[in-house]
């Protein structure tokens, strides 16, 4: 399998250019179901050790159904599949630019949850206009064993998030283990108390925010496989913007600087489409860097050909 690795604000993406399973044609959501149902060993081989790691996000490059799109993509990680990935889309665009397949300007990228617009700027920054985002519930209380009552918002930014303002410890890499256990406890409590996204969808991302001296906010985002996002999280920032918009704390077009746990920053803003129904269209700007390219080799006699699932 031919691949290119990159990182977006510290969070890695691995784009599979060729050698993946044949998923046929049709909508990306349908091809994702085929991938998950019949080819999950592909995901495991790409993401898990010895070729990958828990923090890595994979991106399978596909022909889009819409000929007006520059690419189609399915995102996946150590736990399963993602509807959308903000940092991954920035990484995908940087990868395609590195390969000479995209130039500066606006491009449409097809994902399982809808089409997103990506702009490659002359300075190599990349802006992603994400899928429509919204807050489903405000100030939801969840009782977390050993912690107490935690209050947060449920919002969609391409994935389902529970957003909590206030952290038990400073949002620094040194506290990543404590923050991981705190966020994981919240996620388990949400499951146990049947607090979900729309139509019973699982809330699989936990975002903890705190004030920042160098940005509007600093966050820690725990992803579905219990790995934390090294970047400020594109879909998480989208969900944050939706909550700020719903509270009247951020106007359309106003800039929000979201810092991640490594100190890297995404710049976000949003617009309100006609007939929005309370939804916003967020735009996230960041930078990605290509770090490696080559081939993943899967030898039939290798006992860990399909990855090590720890």
Residues noted as catalytic: 85, 233
How many whole angstroms separate alpha carbon 22 and alpha carbon 35? 9
How many whole angstroms separate alpha carbon 226 and alpha carbon 33? 23
Contact by Cβ (8 Å): 156, 198: yes
CB environment 51-83: b (16+ within 10 A), e (fewer): bbebbbbbbbbbebbeeebbbbbbbbbbeebbb
Cis peptide before 284 (omega within 30 of 0): no
Contact by Cβ (8 Å): 284, 86: yes
How many whole angstroms separate alpha carbon 112 and alpha carbon 300? 31
To which residue do tokens 């300007």 refer?
Answer: 105
How many whole angstroms separate alpha carbon 229 and alpha carbon 208? 12
Q: What is the CA radius of gyration of the chain?
A: 19
């Amino acid at each position: 399998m031919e691949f290119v690795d990159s990182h977006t604000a510290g969070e890695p993406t691995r784009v599979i250019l060729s050698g993946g399973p044949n998923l046929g044609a049709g909508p990306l959501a349908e091809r994702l179901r085929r991938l998950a149902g019949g080819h999950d060993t592909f995901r495991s081989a790409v993401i898990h050790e010895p070729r990958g790691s828990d923090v890595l996000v994979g991106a399978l490059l596909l022909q889009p159904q819409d000929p007006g799109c520059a690419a189609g993509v399915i995102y996946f990680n150590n736990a399963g599949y993602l509807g959308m990935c903000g940092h991954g889309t920035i990484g995908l665009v940087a990868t395609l630019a590195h390969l000479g397949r995209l130039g500066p300007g606006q491009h449409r990228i097809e994902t399982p949850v809808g089409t997103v617009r990506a702009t490659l700027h002359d300075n190599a920054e990349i802006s992603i206009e994400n899928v429509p985002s919204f807050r489903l519930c405000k100030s939801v209380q969840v009782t977390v064993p050993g912690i107490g009552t935690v209050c947060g918002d449920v919002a969609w930014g391409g994935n389902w998030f529970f957003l909590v303002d206030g952290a038990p410890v400073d949002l620094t890499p040194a506290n990543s283990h404590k923050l991981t256990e705190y966020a994981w406890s919240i996620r388990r409590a949400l499951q146990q108390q049947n607090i979900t996204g729309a139509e019973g969808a699982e809330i699989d991302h936990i975002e903890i925010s705190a004030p920042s001296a160098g940005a509007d906010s600093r966050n820690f985002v725990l992803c579905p496989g219990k790995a934390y996002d090294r970047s400020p999280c594109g879909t998480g920032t989208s969900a944050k913007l939706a909550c700020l918009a719903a509270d009247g704390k951020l106007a359309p077009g106003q800039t929000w600087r979201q810092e991640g746990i490594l100190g890297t920053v995404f710049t976000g803003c949003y617009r309100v489409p006609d007939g929005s129904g309370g939804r916003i269209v967020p735009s996230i700007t960041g930078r990605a860097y290509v770090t490696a390219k080559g081939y993943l080799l899967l030898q039939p006699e290798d006992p860990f050909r399909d990855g090590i699932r720890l």
